[in-house]
A and B are shown apart, each in its own frame.
Chain A
Amino acid sequence: MSNRIFAVVTLTVALALAAVTQLIPNEYFFSAAYTVLLFVILATAWNILGGYTGYVNFGSAAFFAIGAYTTVFLYNAFRAPLPVGIVAGTLVAGVAGLGLGYLTLRLRGVFFAIASLALAVVLYIFVVNWDYVGGARGAYVLQPRDVPFGLPRYIHLIYAVQLVMAAFALVVARTIERSTLGRGLAAIRDDELAAECSGVPTLKLKIFSTMVSCALMGMAGTTFPYYLSYIEPSSAFSLSYAVNSIAMPLIGGMMSWMGPLIGAVLLGSVQQLVQVTVSSAWNLLIVGVLLVLFVTLAPNGIMGWVDAWRRRKGR
């Protein structure tokens, strides 16, 4: 399927899904689905750098928070509407990603991971001390009273928006994966020196993939302040974003755009289910157990397992 057809199909499916699911009477569905979709975007975004390029980013929460706090800032400053927040948050996170890439991508392997984690800590402290966006107290972002498209509540709208954004993230990921760029990124992941000696401009490609990855993470965060109408640093910078955005592609499979999608839907739904039926404290424990299971039993994730099965069958 060509990229353009895939984009049209995916976005159409997303819009149709958004429209049809509006008929679901249970309000909780929208809140739960919003969270799962948020993870779909985060996992897909993380995978562009982590899966395609092979650089582990532990700072997902920071870029998510950059998106969220850009919305807060623009809301405080201009009462900016949601679309402005989305575009601005994506751009700001992208620029931050560009900076992170430029400063740290000369580091390899585990050193990059540590640097990305350090960035998250620095940004967290920065936001805690920045009074204008609420500091440690947190900030309120009021949902507009009038919900467009005749939707009953604002959560219906941001759920739909998140759905379309998830589709967009998937389209971006798949386009990169199938392009010359994607092949260059895969070469970097497999052997950076050999890639450079095969003509791949490794630094440029790494910076680009960091930028795109971080921009999409930021995009995921832009709707977040509206979700609860309230945001404070420890929830925006929550460890669960960093952990989940790594665990989901790992479980789903890191080689293709489908892996993070499957991982996020699976793991996200299980977490939502457990949160309601058992306890919210069990969330990360479940992630941990599943992670250990997959790393030992299916190290290439669900998609890797499917691929291997297909190859066996093909013979």
Chain B
Amino acid sequence: MAAALLEVEGVTKRFGGFTALDGVDFVVRPGERVGLIGPNGSGKSTLVNCIAGTLRNEEGSIRFEGVDICGHAAHRRIRLGLARSFQIPKPFASMTVLDNLCVPLLYAARGHEKLAPGRIVEEAMRILGQVGLAGRARAMSGGLTQVDMRKLELARAMAAKPKLLISDEAMAGLSASEVDDVLALLYGLKEQGVAVIMIEHVMRAVMKFSERIAVLVAGRKIADGDPQSVVGNAEVVKAYLGE
């Protein structure tokens, strides 16, 4: 087994008296495709926020490639190669689609991948081509459709040249064929050796995509294993369907 890329150990996050995450352990190996599922409010997004650095966990440790990143601000984590997309798209609305990608290319990707200034736009266009937004490169990102905004959200995370990409419900509200588009995109990342954590309610997509699935319920991880065994797990069924 390869050394872990991301190691989350005993992470606890409280909001006042409410414990959103309670001693969560979670490991991702390089190039692995992991699904993270759980009912609404189970702490999936909180876990993502703790990993990406937009929230600070009170207890536990988070290591990325063996480095403890708990004290790192979010911008330093993405520079190490830990990118995330947002559940609710957050485009830089005053910029064109192309410029949206230039931000992570300039600020994050340049850290570990030498990109000459002239190649930034070229690289941005290449990524836009991958997600099927090349035709909208000069459009203002604030005016995109919801589907295109989700693609842009993924493209922007990809532009940071991550080693681990966390996709936070990139497929919510997409049609079946659009889900397949996004899935193809994420499979493409696997070929480039990028590990992916997929948070999703679209079960068809998660089951198809994931090599391993972790289940969070009320801030605790109750199952972690290959998709078939997780779906058969009695506790998981109980959490989703009740007794």
Contact = CB atoms under 8 A, between A and B. Distances in A.
B92 A190 contact: yes
Interface in B47-69: 52-54
B75 A200 contact: yes
Given A194-B86, A200-B75, 13 more contacts: A186-B92, A187-B92, A187-B95, A190-B92, A191-B90, A191-B91, A191-B92, A193-B90, A198-B107, A198-B156, A199-B103, A199-B109, A200-B103
Interface string A183-224: 110110111011111111111000000000000000000000
A189 B92 CA distance: 8
Contact of B108 (A191, A193, A199, A202): A199
Contacts, number: 76
**Which bucket holds chain B's interface residue count?**
20 to 34
A190 B94 contact: yes
A201 B108 CA distance: 10
A303 to B, nearest CB: 13
**Which bucket holds chain A's interface residue count?**
20 to 34
Contacts of A194: 86, 90-92, 156
B11 interface: no
A198 to B, nearest CB: 4
A180 B117 CA distance: 10
Contacts of A198: 75, 78, 103-104, 107-108, 156, 160
Contact of A197 (B84, B91, B93, B94): B84
Interface in A162-178: none
Contacts of A255: 94
Contacts of A193: 54, 86, 90
Contact of B73 (A183, A184, A196): A196
B52 A197 contact: yes
B94 A201 contact: no
A186 B95 contact: yes
Nearest 5 CB-CB pairings of A with B:
A199-B108, A199-B107, A190-B92, A194-B90, A198-B104
Interface in B4-36: none
B99 interface: yes
A201 B75 contact: yes
Contacts of B93: 190-191
B154 interface: no
A180 B111 CA distance: 14
Contacts of B73: 196, 201, 203
Contacts of B111: 199
A196 B54 contact: yes
A199 B78 contact: yes
Given A199-B78, A201-B73, A183 B106 contact: yes
A306 to B, nearest CB: 16
